[in-house]
Amino acid sequence: MLQKQKDFEKFAGAVQNKNFFEAFGMLEKAPYLAKTDSARKLDLCFTKSFAQAKKLLSDDPIRNTPTAKEILKPFCMIPEKKELIHALVKNNNLFLQADGYIKDKKFREYFTLTEQYPFLQEEVMYKKVCTLAELSILKIRAMIDENRYDEAIAGIKQMAVFLPYRPQLMEMGNIIQMRQKLLEYIRCDNIQSAYELVAANPALETMKEFADYDRTFDEVLSRAMEAIGKGEVKQVQQIMAPYAQIDFFKPKIKECERQAVFNRLSTLLAEKSISMARTVAAYYLKTFGKDDEYEQLLRQYGLGQ
């Protein structure tokens, strides 16, 4: 802790005294310094110097190049700044072109240019534009979560010119399509298609509409409980029929059917309908296999398999 405090003080002193080489070196070795006011001041110093040099070069690149170099000289020994400074001096026209695209809000052309000349991506302006794009994407995601699909689609179309974010925009477009499709399946009560879509796209499980729809099975299960208790196997199958082909529910439905068959067998044994009981027992073994509960029931009535 004491060492960190010393680093903070030394770093602040380096920035204050404009010893930029030392200050940037400390930042590289101690990343925790990046969150300090001194680090922000350091970035601001470079940003202002870079902007000043860029303006001079835009006014008169031939006459003002020596002055621009002198302004940026304190940063020329810093590895992460050296290449950007060199690029500005050699390609100031590209920086001006990039600025023009931003001024005219021609973001497609801007990102095409920065892709072609990656050093433009090191400029503060590029980071600002990307921050703007990322904030817009967060807003669109919020719209999707709130089911404001028309607004979200409009936002995606507007963002299409932010080329580096195309994959994210396409992903959000696909999410909207899947969500709308699921809502349509729910509206039509197309149970199998709805669950197949969710199985293929697990993120859809978080939709409130699906969560509400999923609770319908609990209601179906509640209706089936009476038939299960009475051992009315066909009645259980009829009640569960809408969910019978859905993989997610197959184990649950099979257990309901097993319990219904078991209860039917138990009732027949209690009524001493041995012939019928043997038929049901054979079905139980064939369908569900032998288990402890089954064997215990047969022992209770002095029967064995």
Q: How confident is the model at residue 109 (pLDDT cuts 50, 70, 90)?
A: very high
The set of residues, in sequence order, having a beta carbon less than 8 Å from that of 298 and lying 6+ positions away, is 281, 304, 305
How far apart are the C-alpha atoms of 133 and 127, rounded to whole Å? 10
Instruction: Kindly calculate the radius of gyration of the chain based on its CA atoms and give it in whole angstroms.
Output: 35
Q: How confident is the model at residue 96 (pLDDT cuts 50, 70, 90)?
A: very high
Q: What single string gives the DSSP state of each residue in 235-304?
A: HHHHHHGGGTT-TTTHHHHHHHHHHHHHHHHHHHHHTT-HHHHHHHHHHHHHHH---HHHHHHHHHTT--
**What's the confidence (pLDDT) of residue 163?**
95
**What's the confidence (pLDDT) of residue 232?**
92
How far apart are the C-alpha atoms of 43 and 81, rounded to whole Å? 11
Task: Give the residue from 171, 172, 180, 179 showing the smallest Cα distance to 153.
Answer: 172
User: Does the pLDDT of residue 261 top 90, yes or no?
Assistant: yes
Q: Where are the domains of the chain?
A: 2-90, 216-300
How far apart are the C-alpha atoms of 117 and 120, rounded to whole Å? 6
**What's the confidence (pLDDT) of residue 274?**
87
Angle at 198 between CA 238 and CA 155, to 5 degrees: 140
- Helix, strand, coil % (nearest 5) of the chain? 85, 0, 15
